[in-house]
Amino acid sequence: MATKTISIDLVAYERLCSARLGPRDSFSQVIRRAEWSQEPKTCGSLLAALQGIPVADEEVIQRLDSAQQLDLPPDNPWA
């Protein structure tokens, strides 16, 4: 069987370890058992996901606009 070496962060490693069913359960077996969404990523699915997110009120938008206006580029970008 061919193998590949991958790098993962510690959080992902801990999740893989916790998903093992026993000491003889390999990471390959854990990954094969995982449920991966097969539906395509579309703008419609993004819009549907955004439906549950609350809209920012006018005060938040004004504070963001003010902060953006104050965010000037540095005099010397190389310093």
What's the domain count of the chain? 1
Structural domain contains residue 55: no
Structural domain contains residue 23: yes
Task: Return the HEC string of 48-67.
Answer: HHHCCCCCCCHHHHHHHHHH
Structural domain contains residue 57: no
Structural domain contains residue 41: no
Q: Render pLDDT for 21-42 as a digit per residue (tens, 0 to 9).
A: 999 999 999 999 998 888 888 9
Structural domain contains residue 78: no
Q: Is the pTM of this model over 0.75?
A: no
Q: How far apart (Å, rounded) are the C-alpha atoms in residues 48 and 26?
A: 36
Cβ within 8 Å of residue 20, ≥6 positions away: 27, 30
Higher-confidence residue: 37 or 9?
9
Instruction: State whether residue 38 is helix, strand or coil.
Output: coil
Domain that holds residue 21: 8-33
